[in-house]
């Protein structure tokens, strides 16, 4: 039998009487679901190895200390040396003889300082009285020889001035020599050396010829090339020598109307230093 195909039913037509449906609104995401977390880089923990090593080192020191105490505790006490020392035998015989005045320089310089001055040449006229009293110069008289006596007086007190011996003479009408031995106590510093250094420094201001005094280290002799000119007086040439030994400063001054030779000033300086 032939069966006829039944046609498909047409789509249903919506009735106009029904209200149109509201447009669908997008659904809000559910808050219960958390957003997917991002991948966080893994950070490596540092310092763990260093901490372990430091801890081990501390434990090792503590353990070593404990072992040392245990070892020391098991040992017996160490005997201390005796506080008393063995008596030394005393040397027998006589002690050394004291040095003579010729050998002990201190004995010579503590004695009569005037005896250490060089002797005047024969025929020379003694003029020592013009510089001191009986061969000695006091602090006042010695300070008066400086350009600023008041300042020199205070300086000499600070330098611990002790005494000064002097000799002077004149040969002919214009040739004169003055020698001083100035002694200091030198309890605080080497005043004799400092005074000589000041004299040498001042002499450098003039136009001079200079030479070292043998055997004195820093002793010097000077001859000024130009004479000193004063109205009513002859031109005067001058020469000086300064040196020190121990607590004594040596000063030599030579004046003459004629030029002074190196041999003259050096001879006086060497002979005077030999006596000290």
Q: Is 53 helix (H, G, I), strand (E, B) or coil?
A: helix
Angle at 121 between CA 118 and CA 127, to 5 degrees: 80
Taking only the tens place, the pLDDT of each residue in 19-52 is: 445 445 445 455 445 555 555 555 555 556 776 7
Min mean pLDDT across 22-36, 42-56, 66-80, 153-167 is at: 22-36
Taking only the tens place, the pLDDT of each residue in 89-118 is: 777 777 777 776 666 667 778 889 999 999
Number of helices (H), then strands (E), belonging to the chain: the values are 6, 8
Report pLDDT for 37. 52
Report pLDDT for 46. 54
* Contact of 247 with 166, CB cutoff 8 Å: no
* Contact of 264 with 238, CB cutoff 8 Å: no
Rounded Cα–Cα distance for residues 196 and 202 (Å)? 10
Rounded Cα–Cα distance for residues 179 and 199 (Å)? 14
* pTM across the whole model: 0.63
Taking only the tens place, the pLDDT of each residue in 122-135 is: 989 999 887 788 89
Report pLDDT for 203. 75
- Could you tell me what percent of the chain has a pLDDT over 90? 42
Taking only the tens place, the pLDDT of each residue in 217-231 is: 889 999 999 998 888
């Amino acid at each position: 039998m032939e069966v006829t195909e039944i046609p498909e039913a047409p789509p249903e037509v919506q009735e106009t009487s029904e209200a149109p449906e509201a447009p669908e609104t997008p659904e809000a995401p559910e808050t219960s679901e958390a957003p997917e977390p991002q991948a966080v880089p893994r950070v490596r923990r540092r310092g763990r190895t260093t901490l372990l090593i430091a801890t081990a080192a501390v434990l090792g020191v503590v353990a070593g200390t404990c072992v040392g105490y245990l070892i020391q505790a098991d040992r017996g006490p160490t005997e201390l040396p005796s506080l008393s020392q063995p008596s030394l035998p005393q040397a027998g015989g006589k002690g050394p003889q004291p040095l003579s005045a010729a050998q002990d320089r201190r004995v010579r310089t503590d004695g009569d300082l005037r005896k250490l001055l060089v002797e005047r040449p024969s025929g020379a006229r003694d003029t020592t009285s013009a510089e001191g009293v009986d061969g000695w110069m006091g602090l006042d008289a010695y300070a008066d020889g400086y350009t600023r006596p008041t300042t020199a007086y205070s300086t000499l007190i600070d330098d611990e001035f002790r005494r000064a011996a002097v000799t002077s003479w004149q040969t002919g009408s214009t040739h004169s020599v003055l020698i001083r031995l100035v002694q200091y106590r030198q309890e605080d510093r080497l005043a004799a050396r400092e005074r000589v250094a000041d004299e040498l420094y001042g002499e450098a201001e003039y136009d001079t010829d200079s030479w070292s005094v043998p055997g004195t280290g820093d002793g010097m002799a000077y001859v000024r090339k130009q004479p000193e000119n004063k109205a009513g007086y002859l031109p005067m040439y001058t020469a000086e020598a300064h040196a020190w030994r121990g607590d004594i400063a040596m000063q030599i001054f030579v004046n003459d109307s004629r030029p002074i030779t190196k041999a003259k000033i050096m001879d006086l300086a060497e002979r005077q230093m030999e006596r000290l």
